Amino acid sequence: MIWIAGSQINPAVLVSEWGLNAVQREVVRKMAESPEVFEYPSADLLRFELKMRDHLVRSALALNESGLAFSTFENARSNAAYWNRTELGGFRLRQGILPSQGIINIFQEGRKYATECATAMVIILYHAVLRSIRPADFEQLFADILLYDWRYDQDLDLRTTRTNTFLPGDILYFANPDYNPATPEWQGENVVDLGRGLYYGHGAGIRTAESLIDFLNEERRVGAIRSAYLVHQATRPGFANLFPYDNSQQGLRFQDQAQNEDSQITAQIGALLWEW
C-alpha cells in the first residue's frame, strides 16, 4: 500500500500523472500490491525515491558493462590515478580527486579495477546518488570515500529491513550456507534487483533468481545438501536523508559520460534481449 500525507494512493493515478518509466511503474505496482505500508509525508519524496531507484537499476546495468573484474580483496586493483589501494584491498580516494571523478572513472575504465560483490554494491549506490542529487552536495557529503566491503559513508543511511516485498533498486542477498571453504567469496552474492525478475550480482552477472541459485550451488562443498536461497531482506539507502539534496529541485540534472539518464538500456541474457 502507498500512503502520501495520510491518504492511500491509487497507483494508476501516479502512473498516468507522473509519466513513470518501466522500472518506476514496477516499483509503484509492487508497493501498491504489498501488504506492507510505504508511507511518505509528501509526493515529492516518493518522486525522489522513484528517480533514485531507476538510477540504481541503471547504475547496476552500467557497472555490468564497465569491464570491472571480480576478485578477492587480496587481488583487488584500482586505477592508481584516482584511488590508493589499501592494505586490505580497499580503495581510498586520492588527494585532489573529486569524489564524483573517482566514481565515474570506475564506470569509464572498469578494466583497470577488480573487487568483490559487496564493494560493487557500494559503488552502484554512490553512482546512483551522484546522479540523483546536486553535484556540489555530492562532493561535500562524500568527500572521503573509502570503497571496501560494506564500508560506506553514513550519509548513505543504508537500512537493511526484513521484508517479502522486493522492489527494483533494492539490494538483496542470496545466501549459500554450504559454500566450499576453499572459496569463501561464494558464501553468498549481493545483488541489485533490476525488476522483471532479473538481478545483477558482480561476478555472477545478470541472472534470474533460479539461475543465481544454480550458480551458487555449483560453488558448494562436497556433500552439500542445503541449497542457496534468497534471504528475505532488502538493503535500501536513506531516500529521506538524501532528498534535501535532490537535483530536481533546482532543475539540475547530473550526467556523466558513462550513462545518459533518459537513454534506453539493453542487456542480453541467454537468448533474450531485455530493455529498460
Cα 45 to chain center, whole Å? 19
Q: Grid coordinates representing 110?
A: 572498469
Among 11-20, 21-30, 51-60, the range scoring the smallest mean pLDDT is 11-20
Residue pair 76/89 in contact (Cβ under 8 Å)? The answer is yes
User: Which residue blocks in 34-178 are alpha helix, DSSP H?
Assistant: 43-65, 99-108, 117-130, 135-141
> What percent of the chain has a predicted confidence (pLDDT) above 70?
90
Q: How far apart are CA 23 and CA 119, in angstroms?
A: 24
Q: How far apart are CA 230 and CA 188, in angstroms?
A: 9
Give the tens place of pLDDT for each residue, 57-83: 999 999 999 999 999 999 999 999 999
DSSP 19-44: T--HHHHHHHHHHHHSSS-EEESSHH
Q: How far apart are CA 238 and CA 133, in angstroms?
A: 13
Give the tens place of pLDDT for each residue, 156-186: 999 999 999 999 999 999 999 999 999 999 9
Q: How far apart are CA 237 and CA 151, in angstroms?
A: 13
Is a pLDDT exceeding 90 seen at residue 249? no
* Res 257: pLDDT: 37
* Res 259: pLDDT: 40
> What percent of the chain has a predicted confidence (pLDDT) above 90?
86
Residue with cell 541474457: 269
Give the tens place of pLDDT for each residue, 135-149: 999 999 999 899 999
What pLDDT band is residue 266 in, cutting at 50, 70 and 90?
low
Q: How far apart are CA 101 and CA 93, in angstroms?
A: 10
Q: How far apart are CA 254 and CA 264, in angstroms?
A: 17
- Structural domain boundaries in the chain: 2-246+266-275
In this prediction, residues 241-254 reach a mean pLDDT of 73
φ, ψ dihedrals at 190, nearest 5°: -80, 135
